[in-house]
Structure 1
Amino acid sequence: MVFKRRDKRPMLSALRDALWPRTGWARAFHYVKHRINRLPDRPHRIARGIMAGVFVSFTPLFGFHFVTAAALAWILRGNILAAILGTFFGNPVTFPIIAVSSIKLGHFLLGHDRAPLPPPPLEGRYDGPKDFPPPPDGLGEIFAGAGHDLWHNFWALFTPDTADWTGLSYFFSDIWWPYLVGGFIPGIFCSIAMYYVSLPFITAYQNRRRARLKERLEAARAKLAAKREERAGRKQERREEKTARKAAQTPDTRS
C-alpha cells in the first residue's frame, strides 16, 4: 500500500503528528507534493482530484473530508488519491483562516450579524416551551453548549432524561450553516486556481520524469548492446584462437 508504515505508531503520536508534523510543515508539504507528482495518472485527472480536495477543505464536514473529496473526484472524473491528498490544503495552519473567513462571509451572505433565527422552543433545562433561552455569548459558549447537548442527548437515550437540542441549534445556525454557505465562494475560487496552477507543474514533472526514464532506458539499452558486442567479440576471438590451434596441430601433407 502507498501509505502503509513499517512500524505502527501509537495513537497519541499519530494524533500529535496530524496536528503538527514532527518534521515540520515544509517537509510535509514536499512529501504531499512528491506523492501527487508521482501518481500514475494523466495530469488533468490529477489536477481535478486536487481541485476536489481543496474545495472540500473549505467545508465544515470534518471527519468526512476524505469521503467527500473522493466522491467529488469520482463525479469530476478526477484522481481519487489526489483528491484525498488535496484535502491537506486544510491543516491546523490554514484552518483558522479558512474557518474565520468562511463564517464571516456566510453571515454576510445570510444577511445577519450572528444568529438570526432563535432555536425552536424546547423543554428541558429552561422554564417552558414558550421561553427562548438567551443566545450564547461568544464562540466558547456556542461550542460548550453543542458539546453539552451531544453528551446529554447521548445519555438521554439510556435514561429518562429529555433530549435538548438548544445548544446544537445555536451551533448549527451560528457556526455550521454560515461556515458551509460562506465556504462555497472561496472554496470554488481556490480550487479552480489550484487546478490551473497544479496542471502545468504536474505536466512538466511527468514530462521530465518520462524523459529521465527514457534516457535511463536508452542508457541501459546501450550498455546491454555494448555488453553483447563485447561478448560477441570474445566469442569471435575464442573461435579464431581455436581455429588457429587446430591449424597448428594439423600436419602439413602437401609435398
Structure 2
Amino acid sequence: MVFRRRSKRSWGQAVVEFFYPRGGWGRAISYMRHRLGRLPDAPHRIARGIFAGVFVSFTPLFGFHFILAVLIAWAIRGNVIAALISTFFGNPLTFPIIMTVSIELGNWMLGNSGGMPLPQVVAAFARASVEFWHNIQSTFTADVAHWDNLSRFFWRVFLPYLIGGLLPGLICAFGCYYLSLPVIGAYQKRRKKKLRERIDRMRQAISAQDPLLADPAHVEHFPDNLPRKPGAEE
C-alpha cells in the first residue's frame, strides 16, 4: 500500500501522537494549512468544506464526524477533502473547551440546574459508548439490554451538548470560512505565480541551449521541425 507506514505504530505510540503529533502541534497545523491550500478546487468551495468540518467538531456525534462532515459539505457544495481535514479543528487541545462551553450553554438554554465537570463528561461518554454497543449485541445474544442509563445520559449530557454546540459551532464555522476564503485565494495565486516563474526559468535555460525549443510556436509543432538525417525520405 502506498500510504502504509513502514514501521507499524504500537497502541501507546498512537495514543501519544493523538495528543501530541510527531513534530508538535505547530507542524501539524502548518501541514493541514498547506494541504488545504494545495487542494485543486476553487477557494469558495474549499472554504465551504472548512465550514462543514469546523461545525461538525462542535457536535457530540463522536465516531461520525467524518460522515457528517461529508454530508454537510456535499449539501452546501463544498470540498469534501477540506471538510474531512477541517474536522481536526476538534482535537485534544480544543475538545475540553468545546465540551465545557457547549454543555454549559446547553444546560442554560434548557433550564437545567447545575453543571458537570469535564472529567465526568468524558467518563459519561465512555460509559454510554460501552453500554450502547452492549445493548446492540444483546439483541443477538441472551444478555439483557438496559437503556435507563443511556436515557439519563441523553437528557443530562448528550442533548445539552448538542443544543449548546450549535451556536458556538456556527460562530466558529463562519469565522473560519471568512478567514480562510481570502487566505486560500492568496495562497493559490502565489503558487500559480511561482509555477509560472519556474516555467519561465526552465524556458530560459532551454533557450540558452537551443533557441528553437524555447519558441512556443515551434514547440507546438515540434515533431515537424525535427532535423532530418541526410538521405532520409521526404
1:210 partnered with 2:209: no
Q: Which residue of 2 aligns with 1:118?
A: none
Which residue type is aligned with residue 16 of structure 1? V
1:155–1:66 distance in 2 versus 1, CA, 3 Å: closer
Shift of 1:67: 1.1
**Distance in 1 between residues matched to 2:191 and 2:125, nearest whole Å:** 49
**Distance in 2 between residues matched to 1:84 and 1:35, nearest whole Å:** 11
Q: Which residue of 2 aligns with 1:85?
A: 85
Q: Which residue of 1 aligns with 2:106?
A: 106
Q: Which residue of 2 aligns with 1:32?
A: 32
Shift of 1:175: 0.8
Any idea what the Cα deviations from partners look like across 1:28-58, whole Å, max 9, x if unmatched?
1111111111111111111111111000000
1:221–1:159 distance in 2 versus 1, CA, 3 Å: closer
Q: In the alignment, is the contact (CA less than 8 A) between 1:142 and 1:170 conserved in 2? A: no
1:145–1:199 distance in 2 versus 1, CA, 3 Å: closer
Q: Which residue of 2 aligns with 1:49?
A: 49
| TM-score normalised by structure 1 residue count | 0.73
Which residue type is aligned with residue 94 of structure 2? T
**Distance in 2 between residues matched to 1:208 and 1:155, nearest whole Å:** 54
164-173 vs 49-58, which moves further: 164-173
1:145–1:205 distance in 2 versus 1, CA, 3 Å: closer
Shift of 1:15: 3.7
Q: Which residue of 2 aligns with 1:200?
A: 182
**Distance in 2 between residues matched to 1:151 and 1:229, nearest whole Å:** 71
Alpha-carbon RMSD: 2.6
Q: Which residue of 2 aligns with 1:162?
A: 144
Q: Which residue of 2 aligns with 1:130?
A: none
Shift of 1:220: 1.2
Shift of 1:5: 4.1
Any idea what the Cα deviations from partners look like across 1:198-248, whole Å, max 9, x if unmatched?
1111111111111111111111112212211399xxxxxxxxxxxxxxxxx
Would you say how many aligned residue pairs link Structure 1 and Structure 2? Answer: 208
1:45–1:165 distance in 2 versus 1, CA, 3 Å: same
Q: Which residue of 1 aligns with 2:128?
A: 146
Residue among 164, 167, 171 paired with 2:153 = 171
Matches within 5 A, 1:107-122: 107-113=107-113
Q: Which residue of 2 aligns with 1:4?
A: 3
Shift of 1:114: 5.3
- Segments of 5+ residues of structure 1 without an aligned counterpart are 116-137, 232-255
Matches within 5 A, 1:181-200: 181-200=163-182
Overall identity of the aligned pairs, in %: 50
| TM-score normalised by structure 2 residue count | 0.79
Q: In the alignment, is the contact (CA less than 8 A) between 1:114 and 1:174 conserved in 2? A: no
